[in-house]
Each structure stands twice: as C-alpha cells, then as structure tokens.
C-alpha cells in the first residue's frame, strides 16, 4: 500500500525536535513499523526551524510544509493565519501524492486529509486521541475565545465523513459515539510502548526519586505535584522530584519551587531530545505521578509501567487514564485538586519497597500486550479494511 501520514508534529529525534507528546509518538512508532513491513510510507508534517523541507528517514519520504504549532514547545498557536496556511499547503501537497490511504492525526490534519481524499480518492483514516468538550477546551487554552474555537475545530474534524476512525481508548470511543459517529466506523487501538527499549536501558536507581513526564501546561497540574512534594519532604527528607518536559507553565512552576524552598530537591530537565534519554529517567525513578485532568489515554503511564513504576493519577470521569489504572493494583487513582492526597500516597510508596515492586510488576504485566509491533499490525488491518470497503 501507498500510505500517507498527515500530522502537525512528526518527531525528529536526530535534531531534538518534536519529542513532546503521545499523539506524535504514536504516528512516529507506527509509521516506521509499517514501512519495515514493505509498504510505501510518506509523512506530511510541519517544518520546524532547523529542519529541511524534504528528506528520507528510515526509508520514508518526509515532506515538511508550514508551521501551525509553537516552534519551541509544539503547543497550539493562538493565531488563525498560520493554521489556515498549513491546511491549504498540506492539502495541495497531499493531492499531488495521491496515496491509497491517508491517515490523519487529529485535529487540523483531518481537514487537508479529507480534501485530498475527496479529490484523489485515497481512503481517509483518522486517529482521535481525545474529545475534551467546550469546558475542557477552555481549560486547555485558558481562554473563552480560543477554547471555543478549539472545541469547534475538534468537533467538526471528528464529525467529518471518515472511512475509519481509530480511537485510543474506550472512553474516547464513547465520546465519538455521543457526537453522532456510527459505532461501526470506530476501532479502538490504544497507544503502545517500546518494551525492548526499556529492557535494554540499564541505569542505577536514584533512591526516592519521583518522576513526572509531559508537557508543562496548566491542565497537567504539575503545581499540585510540587505542592504535594513539599509535604513529602517532611516525611522523606531524601526525596527528589524530576520534572521532564517543557511548556508555557515552566516559569510559573519554577517560581512555585523557589517559593516553597525546594530548589535543592526539584530538577527541571526541559524538553528531552531523544526517546532513549527519557527512558533513562523512567528506569532510574521509584514512582511516577500524572496529576493531569485531561488525558485521551496517557502514553506516559504505559511507559512508566514498562519501567515497572507504581503510578499515581487523577480519577476523572471519561478520562483514558481509567483504561490503564487499576486502583490499588498498579497504582492509585486520586480525587483531583487535593495535593495532600498525592503527598499521602507518595510517602506510602516511598516508604514501602515491597508495595512498589508489587505494583510495578502488576503494571509491567498489564502493559506487555501494548507492544508497538502489535499496535502497528492492528493499524494495518484498519487500512486494509478501509480499502476493501471502497
């Protein structure tokens, strides 16, 4: 098959660009494995500073056009013109490529993908990571106007005619059904994890190190974790907190760390240039915390389970986290907005090595069915079904 992947961000570890989020990681891992299986793969993505317009990587042709995202963090840009420019330029290039299947990463790539499919007849497939709703959009953008625009763009993209939609979790699938999308069009294929990479990375444990990996944006609520950590130190004075990732909230979070006098115990690594590097952070840590209130599925939880770490996350109705967490088995699900509960569970885990190992083993067993090789094969089956339906 000739397969075109359209995604705003396609990770470029060689240049330290785009290694930021789960949705981007999914397309990166699947496309490489699909190419390894002998299919003709082309990537159509944004062009960040320092990247060539075209190149061949691992046998795949990569075309880079426009820039709809923040060039430093990969976050949404609050300006309309670059987004429209990206959509039009991408649609024109996709039409010239004329693939058999066009797999779009939500949400803006869906628009050029659909234009190209309608013009040239390629079968459109889209992956939906999350439907946050108007309230969630406002929380993510911290703006009524941009939250509303984001909600509309997301909803319209999801409701466009698709041959197939891949949902990363049962919770996301239900939200798509609630939007009026036919159940038989939706296939649940979760994100995967590179188990071989985690098993081959050897590092020493850093005693009592707590880890967060993800974007530093307000709805991730890393401030709750920092507040909780200040209480943890009263019971576990040797505890350390490593915060991996970048984003617009980093400055505010660093101010909070200084205000609480935690500078000697908290490390901000910034954006991690390679997946190998972030794997080392997982393997050296003792506990993983994800205080986020907006998650389509949370690939970082799977990565933490691959490293045999016990988990702490928020119990949010409709969150994809609920597909991965078994409260009291591989970690703890907590009420959001209560840092004192995070502190209580952290102390409990740090002071109980046997419990950490027990929960870590349960998580590792759970995540072994999510190897990226399996996920890629399931995705190929969706492509084949879309072509057969035509």
Both 187 and 214 in one domain: the answer is: no
**With bands split at pLDDT 50, 70 and 90, how would you rate the model's confidence at 198?**
very high
Both 10 and 128 in one domain: the answer is: yes
Q: What percent of the chain has pLDDT over 90?
A: 68
pTM for the structure as a whole = 0.81
**With bands split at pLDDT 50, 70 and 90, how would you rate the model's confidence at 136?**
low
Dist. CA 44–CA 34, nearest whole Å: 16
Residue 145 confidence (pLDDT) above 80: no
Closest CA to 296 of 69, 105, 48: 105
Tally of residues, the chain: 390
Residue 141 confidence (pLDDT): 60
> CA 2 → CA 103, 123, 152, distances in Å?
11, 11, 31
Both 95 and 10 in one domain: the answer is: yes
**With bands split at pLDDT 50, 70 and 90, how would you rate the model's confidence at 96?**
very high
Residue 142 confidence (pLDDT): 65
Both 199 and 314 in one domain: the answer is: yes
Both 122 and 228 in one domain: the answer is: no
Mean pLDDT of the chain: 91
Both 13 and 65 in one domain: the answer is: yes
Residue 139 confidence (pLDDT): 62
Residue 31 confidence (pLDDT): 97
Q: What letter does residue 17 receive in the DSSP assignment?
A: B
24-39 confidence digits (pLDDT tens): 889 999 999 999 999 9
Residue 148 confidence (pLDDT) above 80: no
Domain containing 39 equals 2-192+371-389
CA pseudo-torsion sign 334, 338, 339, 344: negative
Dist. CA 11–CA 275, nearest whole Å: 10
Mean pLDDT of all residues in 341-362: 98
**With bands split at pLDDT 50, 70 and 90, how would you rate the model's confidence at 373?**
very high
Residue 99 confidence (pLDDT) above 80: yes
Structure tokens at 160: 């466009």
Both 172 and 63 in one domain: the answer is: yes
Residue 235's contacts (CB-CB under 8 Å, 6 or more residues apart) are 347, 351
CA pseudo-torsion sign 109, 111, 116, 122: positive
228-251 confidence digits (pLDDT tens): 999 999 999 999 999 999 888 999
**With bands split at pLDDT 50, 70 and 90, how would you rate the model's confidence at 119?**
confident
Residue 295 confidence (pLDDT) above 60: yes
* Residues 19 and 275 sit within 8 Å (Cβ to Cβ): yes
| Position with higher pLDDT, 73 vs 94 | 94
Residue 140 confidence (pLDDT): 62
Residue 3 confidence (pLDDT): 97
Residue 230 confidence (pLDDT): 98
Both 132 and 15 in one domain: the answer is: yes
Both 215 and 89 in one domain: the answer is: no
Residue 197 confidence (pLDDT): 92
Both 16 and 143 in one domain: the answer is: yes
Both 204 and 339 in one domain: the answer is: yes
Residue 261 confidence (pLDDT): 98
Packed helices 110-120 and 80-97: angle between N→C axes, nearest 10 degrees: 30
Name the residue with tokens 């409990």: 348
Give the number of domains in the chain.
2
**With bands split at pLDDT 50, 70 and 90, how would you rate the model's confidence at 340?**
very high
59-70 confidence digits (pLDDT tens): 999 999 999 888
Both 148 and 271 in one domain: the answer is: no
User: Which ranges of the chain would DSSP assign to H, the alpha helix?
Assistant: 22-36, 80-97, 110-120, 133-141, 144-159, 170-178, 195-200, 222-235, 250-259, 275-284, 299-306, 339-350, 353-367, 372-389
What is the CATH number for 290? Answer: 3.40.50.2000
């Amino acid at each position: 098959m000739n397969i075109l992947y359209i995604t705003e961000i396609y990770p470029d570890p060689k240049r330290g660009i785009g290694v930021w989020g789960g949705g981007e990681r999914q397309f990166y891992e699947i496309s490489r494995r699909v190419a390894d299986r002998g299919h003709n793969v082309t990537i159509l993505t944004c062009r960040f500073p320092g990247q060539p317009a075209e190149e061949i990587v691992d046998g795949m042709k990569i075309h880079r056009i426009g820039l709809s995202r923040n060039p430093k963090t990969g976050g949404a840009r609050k300006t309309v013109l670059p987004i429209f420019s990206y959509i039009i330029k991408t649609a024109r290039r996709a039409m010239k490529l004329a693939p058999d299947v066009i797999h779009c990463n939500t949400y803006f790539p869906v628009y050029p993908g659909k234009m190209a499919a309608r013009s040239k007849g390629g079968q459109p497939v889209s992956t939906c990571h999350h439907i946050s709703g108007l309230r969630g959009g406002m929380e993510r953008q911290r703006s009524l106007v941009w939250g509303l625009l984001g909600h509309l763009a997301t909803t319209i993209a999801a409701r466009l005619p698709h041959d197939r939609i891949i949902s990363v979790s049962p919770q996301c699938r239900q939200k798509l059904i609630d939007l009026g999308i036919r159940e038989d069009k939706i296939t649940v294929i979760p994100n995967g994890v590179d188990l071989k990479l985690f098993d081959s990375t050897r590092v020493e444990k850093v005693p009592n190190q707590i880890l967060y990996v993800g974007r530093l944006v307000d709805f991730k609520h890393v401030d709750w974790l920092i507040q909780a950590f200040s209480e943890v130190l009263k019971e576990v004075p040797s505890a350390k907190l490593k915060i991996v990732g970048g984003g617009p909230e980093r400055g505010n979070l660093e101010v909070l760390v200084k205000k609480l006098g935690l500078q000697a115990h908290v490390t901000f690594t910034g954006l991690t240039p390679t997946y190998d590097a972030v794997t080392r952070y997982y393997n050296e840590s003792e506990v993983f915390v994800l205080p986020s209130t907006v998650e389509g599925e949370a690939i970082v939880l799977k990565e933490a389970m691959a490293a045999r770490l016990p988990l702490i996350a928020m119990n949010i109705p409709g969150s994809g986290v609920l597909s991965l967490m078994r409260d009291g088995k591989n970690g703890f699900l907590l009420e959001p907005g209560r840092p004192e509960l995070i502190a209580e569970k952290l102390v409990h885990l740090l002071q109980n090595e046997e419990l950490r190992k027990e929960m870590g083993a349960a998580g590792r067993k759970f995540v072994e069915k999510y190897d990226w090789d399996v996920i890629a094969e399931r995705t190929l089956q969706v492509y084949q079904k879309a072509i057969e339906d035509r």
